[in-house]
Chain A
Amino acid sequence: MSSDIEPHRLVEAAAWRTRLAEGQTDCSEELAAWVAEHPQNGAAWLRVQTPWALL
């Protein structure tokens, strides 16, 4: 697991990424609120989003 981001934040970011992709509801505002909660949330999201966007 990545050493500089708390593992549970990566798990949460992966859950957000999966939920957004499933697209049942528009939860982008909730995601933005989660990102704003803690600096590491943004870093976790970026770490999840980067390889996601490659594929």
Chain B
Amino acid sequence: MRPALNKASAAQLRNELGARFCGPLMSFFLRRLRDRSQAEDLTQEVLLRVIRASERDAIENPDSYVFKTAVNLLKDQGRRTLRSGTPSFLPIEAALAGELQSQLVEGRSPERVLLSEDALGEALQALEELGELTRNIFILFRLESMKQKDIAALYGISQSTVEKHVMKAVLHLATRCGRT
């Protein structure tokens, strides 16, 4: 991102980060939490952590760093939710609803799976094992809901290449941590 910051430039960085990441981060948290104020708090916490981190060291890949921080905060939130016993995560997406769900879920509760902190940690570890480009493309596609054509334009590569990176990440996650 940039060399370590002095305090005077921290406010400017906050503004830059806010302009760039506030919307995507709010979308990311709102998709997974039912509470707008919680999503706003977590968004601000992500930005604060990124600013603090940038005061210590340069951040090579801000997009990846921001969303890795967001995923970690969401994981922490999941742990708090587990302790409080009041799940607030959104359930698995509609693709598994109805017939598919009854065929495939085999009695497992998606919410139970979703709230398994061990499984989430394993998935995050598997993400770390991917190459940087594959990981970043997957994060943009899965966590920021960017379309493949937009990711392709961002990186100057073809849409089919983006699709291959996404599939590679999906397959790696399934191989590493799809067993339940």
Please name all residues of chain A whose beta carbon is closer than 8 Å to the beta carbon of B142 when the two chains form the complex.
21, 52, 55
Most chain A CB atoms below 10 A, which of B95, B120, B174: B174
Known A46-B106, A53-B92, A53-B113: A2·B100 in contact at CB below 8 Å:
no
Please name all residues of chain B whose beta carbon is closer than 8 Å to the beta carbon of A18 when the two chains form the complex.
163, 166-167, 170
Please name all residues of chain A whose beta carbon is closer than 8 Å to the beta carbon of B120 when the two chains form the complex.
54-55
Interface residue from A14, A32, A35, A54 paired with B171 (Cβ < 8 Å): A14
**Distance of A17 Cα from B92 Cα, bound (Å):** 13
Confirm or deny: B180 has a beta carbon within 8 angstroms of a beta carbon on chain A.
yes
Please name all residues of chain A whose beta carbon is closer than 8 Å to the beta carbon of B166 when the two chains form the complex.
18, 21
Interface residue from B93, B104, B123 paired with A42 (Cβ < 8 Å): B104
Confirm or deny: B7 has a beta carbon within 8 angstroms of a beta carbon on chain A.
no
Are A10 and B123 interface neighbours, CB within 8 A? no
Please name all residues of chain B whose beta carbon is closer than 8 Å to the beta carbon of A10 when the two chains form the complex.
171, 174-175
Interface residue from A35, A44, A52, A54 paired with B103 (Cβ < 8 Å): A35
Interface residue from A32, A49, A55 paired with B143 (Cβ < 8 Å): A55
Q: How many A-B residue pairs have CB under 8 A?
A: 97
Are B126 and A51 interface neighbours, CB within 8 A? yes
Interface residue from A1, A22, A42 paired with B147 (Cβ < 8 Å): A22
**Distance of A28 Cα from B113 Cα, bound (Å):** 22
B115 to chain A, nearest CB (A): 9
Query: Which chain B residue lies CB-closest to A42?
Result: B104
Interface residue from B114, B122, B148 paired with A53 (Cβ < 8 Å): B114
Most chain B CB atoms below 10 A, which of A20, A32, A50: A50
Interface residues of A (CB under 8 A from B): 1-2, 10-11, 13-15, 17-18, 20-22, 28, 31-32, 35-36, 42, 44-55
